[in-house]
């Protein structure tokens, strides 16, 4: 019961945390323009968070293996809270960059939360619990932009103050309600030999099952964020739909992912192999993405995106469960942190490569995304052989 209670507290903390991030997405560019933010510097500002997260997340994960999950999760949530306050009180573009970098450096909440779930899970229910946690993050991202857009009616700073406030609530919940899942003492810390070294980012990829799963996650994340660039330009230039309709479209996409993540127990009950579930879902994502590149009509495109959104929702629960199944508890935080690091780089490289192929045509972005998914699908056969 305690483990289940902890899971639902983690779910609440994750919803609050992702809600805070989702709130600032639709207002970041407009707010930043008052300090001289341009389309180009917006990309750099976004990338600064991902780059900082790439280096910091595995370190935070490794520290959680040594010192316990709860202190590191609290530090991560507190860093997010402070970064939102900095945004609200910003007086220059420099402060905006400092705030995003701070959030990236303390952005280990995803991997630490995943490690806490993995600590108390079994191989049989691990994918289910990761699915519940993933749906919590997704829920916050879906409703966050709606709240953020509404709060701009009060003042340009209001969304950031509100995001800081709910992040503070998340921090307090973690401090007072969350139970530690990785108990350590002076003796275990002295005997701990898993301190993070940056070379581990490379050596992890050489591990047969874990490395393959991490790289597949990187490719599928890059595919998703490549698609997002194509989605934005395709919706405006080809479909000619309004910003409100685009927001509803994105919300529907997010809801599809939530639904599928909540259905993880059904899939694991029907199919014993997590790698097979990943293979089938990746294949369907590939078909949907490839077909979307051939249409210029709303209904066929919406169907393709719906199918992609549904089965893309199985990606993280399966990959995280596969990774956790193949590592010891003493390195859960470190390896899940490395996995998140590669995901953050995928979030950066996806939009960059999408911009490069955009000169060919808008449709080419969907074919590029399909290529990334195809490579991930082929690698999933290797993952199956190592399962």
pLDDT at 53 over 50: yes
Q: How many domains does the chain have?
A: 2
Q: What is the pLDDT of residue 3?
A: 52
Question: Is 159 found in the same domain as 241?
Answer: no
| Confidence bin at 1 (pLDDT 50/70/90) | very low
Give the span between the Cα atoms of 182 and 105, in whole angstroms.
Answer: 22
In the block, tokens 């927001």 appear at 247
Quick one: tokens of 303? Answer: 């169907």
Q: What is the pLDDT of residue 211?
A: 93
Q: What is the pLDDT of residue 337?
A: 87
Q: Which of 235, 205, 206, 189 is nearest to 62 (CA)?
A: 189
| pLDDT, mean of residues 52-70 | 88
Question: Is 71 found in the same domain as 168?
Answer: yes
Given 179, 212, 233, which residue is the final one in a domain?
A: 179
Question: Is 162 found in the same domain as 30?
Answer: yes
- Whether residue 222 is contained in a domain is answered as yes
CATH of the domain at 34: 1.20.1250.20
DSSP code, position 152:
T
Q: What is the pLDDT of residue 318?
A: 94
* Residues 244/294, Cβ–Cβ less than 8 Å: no
- Whether residue 377 is contained in a domain is answered as yes
Q: What is the pLDDT of residue 281?
A: 96
- Whether residue 189 is contained in a domain is answered as no
Question: Is 214 found in the same domain as 252?
Answer: yes
pLDDT tens for 297-337 read 989 999 999 999 999 999 999 999 999 888 887 788 888 88
pLDDT tens for 207-265 read 889 999 999 999 999 999 889 878 877 887 888 877 667 767 777 878 888 888 888 98
> Worst-scoring range by mean pLDDT, 123-127, 182-186, 276-280, 368-372?
182-186
Considering 38-42, 138-142, 209-213, the range whose residues carry the highest mean pLDDT is 209-213
Q: What is the DSSP string of 232-282?
A: HHHHHHTS---HHHHHHHHHHHHHHHHHHHHTHHHHHHH-S-HHHHHHHHH
Given 148, 179, 210, which residue is the final one in a domain?
A: 179
**Structural domain boundaries enclosing 91:** 1-179
- Whether residue 192 is contained in a domain is answered as no
| Confidence bin at 89 (pLDDT 50/70/90) | very high
Q: What is the pLDDT of residue 83?
A: 93
Question: Is 377 found in the same domain as 250?
Answer: yes
Question: Is 149 found in the same domain as 60?
Answer: yes
Question: Is 242 found in the same domain as 144?
Answer: no
Given 144, 179, 214, which residue is the final one in a domain?
A: 179
Question: Is 100 found in the same domain as 1?
Answer: yes
Half-sphere exposure of 302 (CA within 13 A, CB side): 12
- Whether residue 187 is contained in a domain is answered as no
pLDDT tens for 324-382 read 888 887 788 888 889 988 998 898 888 888 888 888 888 999 999 999 999 999 999 99
Question: Is 318 found in the same domain as 210?
Answer: yes
pLDDT at 172 over 90: yes
Question: Is 50 found in the same domain as 4?
Answer: yes
Question: Is 386 found in the same domain as 294?
Answer: yes
- Whether residue 311 is contained in a domain is answered as yes
Give the span between the Cα atoms of 168 and 10, in whole angstroms.
Answer: 15
- Whether residue 207 is contained in a domain is answered as yes
Half-sphere exposure of 345 (CA within 13 A, CB side): 16
Question: Is 51 found in the same domain as 168?
Answer: yes
- Whether residue 244 is contained in a domain is answered as yes
- Across the chain, what does the average pLDDT equal? 86
* Residues 182/330, Cβ–Cβ less than 8 Å: no
């Amino acid at each position: 019961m305690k483990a289940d209670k902890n899971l639902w507290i983690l779910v609440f903390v994750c919803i609050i945390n992702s809600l805070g991030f989702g709130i600032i997405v639709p207002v970041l560019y407009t707010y930043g323009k008052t300090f001289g933010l341009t389309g180009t510097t917006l990309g750099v500002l976004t990338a600064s968070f991902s780059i900082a997260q790439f280096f910091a997340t595995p370190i935070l994960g490794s520290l959680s293996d040594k010192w316990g999950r709860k202190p590191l999760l609290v530090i991560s949530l507190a860093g997010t809270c402070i970064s939102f306050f900095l945004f609200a009180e910003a007086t220059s573009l420099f402060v905006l960059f400092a705030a995003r970098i701070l959030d990236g450096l303390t952005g280990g909440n995803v991997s630490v939360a995943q490690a806490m779930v993995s600590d108390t899970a079994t191989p049989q229910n691990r994918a289910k619990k990761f699915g519940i946690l993933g749906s919590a993050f997704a829920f916050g991202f879906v409703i966050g932009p709606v709240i953020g857009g509404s709060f701009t009616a009060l003042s340009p700073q209001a969304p950031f103050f509100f995001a800081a406030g709910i992040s503070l609530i998340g921090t307090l919940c973690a401090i007072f309600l969350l139970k530690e899942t990785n108990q350590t003492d002076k003796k275990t810390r002295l005997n701990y030999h898993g301190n993070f070294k940056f070379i581990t980012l490379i050596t992890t990829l050489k591990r047969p099952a874990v490395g393959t799963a991490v790289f597949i996650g990187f490719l599928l994340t890059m595919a998703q964020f490549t698609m997002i660039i194509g989605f934005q330009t395709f919706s405006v230039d080809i479909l000619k739909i309004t910003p409100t309709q685009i927001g509803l479209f994105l919300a529907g996409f997010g809801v599809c992912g939530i639904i599928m993540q909540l259905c993880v127990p059904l899939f694991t009950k029907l199919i014993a192999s997590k790698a097979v579930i990943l293979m089938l879902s990746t294949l369907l994502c590939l078909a949907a993405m490839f077909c979307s590149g051939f249409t210029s009509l709303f209904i066929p495109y919406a169907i393709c995106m719906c199918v992609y959104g549904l089965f893309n929702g199985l990606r993280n629960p399966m990959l995280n469960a596969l990774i956790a199944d193949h590592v010891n508890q003493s390195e859960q935080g470190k390896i899940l942190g490395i996995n998140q690091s590669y995901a953050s780089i995928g979030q950066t490289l996806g939009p960059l490569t999408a911009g490069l192929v955009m000169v060919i045509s808008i449709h080419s972005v969907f074919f590029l995304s399909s290529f990334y998914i195809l490579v991930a699908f082929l690698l999933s056969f290797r993952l199956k052989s190592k399962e």
